[in-house]
Amino acid sequence: MRRFVFVLEQTLGHVAHGRNLERALAARNTIEPTIIRIPYSTPSGLGSIPLARNWSVRASVAARRALKGISGPVEAAFIHTQVASLLSTGFMSRTPTVVSLDATPVNFDTEGEAYGHHRTAPAVEWLKREFNLRPLRSAACLVTWCQWAADSLVRDYGLDAAKIQVVHPGVDLSIFKPGDRSHGGDPVRVLFVGGDFIRKGGLELLNAARGLEEKIALEIVTNDAVEVPPGLTVNIHRGLAPQSEGLVRLFRESDL
């Protein structure tokens, strides 16, 4: 039995990714996993301090504290994402560590406006790059969800491409599999799942549905407020967690 440590950031789509990893680990009898979950937290009473408002700082502090509390030998570690690895280079120098990420900070700078993210002064951006470089260089291997992020690690951070593997996030087919779609005369059922309705294209979906001659039934999973235009058949589902029974049922019952 080989003992590995898994540090899993629990924000947005990373929650489902972490659950897939944990389910896969539970099915193996050759690995003794120690799972460290880093759930998203809002700034505490220190929220007035700029650094304390930064999720990267809060996540990496939590990961470092948890890793320091591990007793006994560990063969290797896996940290997802690099956000949780920033303050763990000491641990990484002693333990071979894979750092996994969906996007680099430079990637996020190009797409982050939809998340309310904006680039800062050049000097601050340089410091941010250097701070992120430390764990990226310390990692024994880097895993990215896509080639876009892998290319950024080479182009923007000067890392060796031989150190990087692209592993696309998978879908657990034992959970997400086709169900009964025999609706008879019912309209086509279209499922939308997105915590941030506007950023995920919800408005475009509503506008497209209004322009269709054939009526469709929209199943919308979100916790955002949604203003439904007249004439559309829309069911809004709130409070459904990733991979929950209700969410999986909607996937199985939908056509698209």
| Residue 48: pLDDT over 70 | no
Does pTM surpass 0.75? yes
pLDDT of residue 116: 67
Q: 64-99: string of b/e by CB count within 10 Å (b at 16+)?
A: bebbeeeeeebebbbbbbbbbbbbbbebbeebebbb
pLDDT of residue 118: 67
How many Å apart are CA 79 and CA 94, to the nearest integer?
15
Record the tokens describing residue 21, joined without a space: 């990893």
CB 47 within 8 A of CB 18: no
| Residue 222: pLDDT over 60 | yes
> pLDDT tens digits for 112-143?
666 666 666 666 677 888 889 999 999 999 99
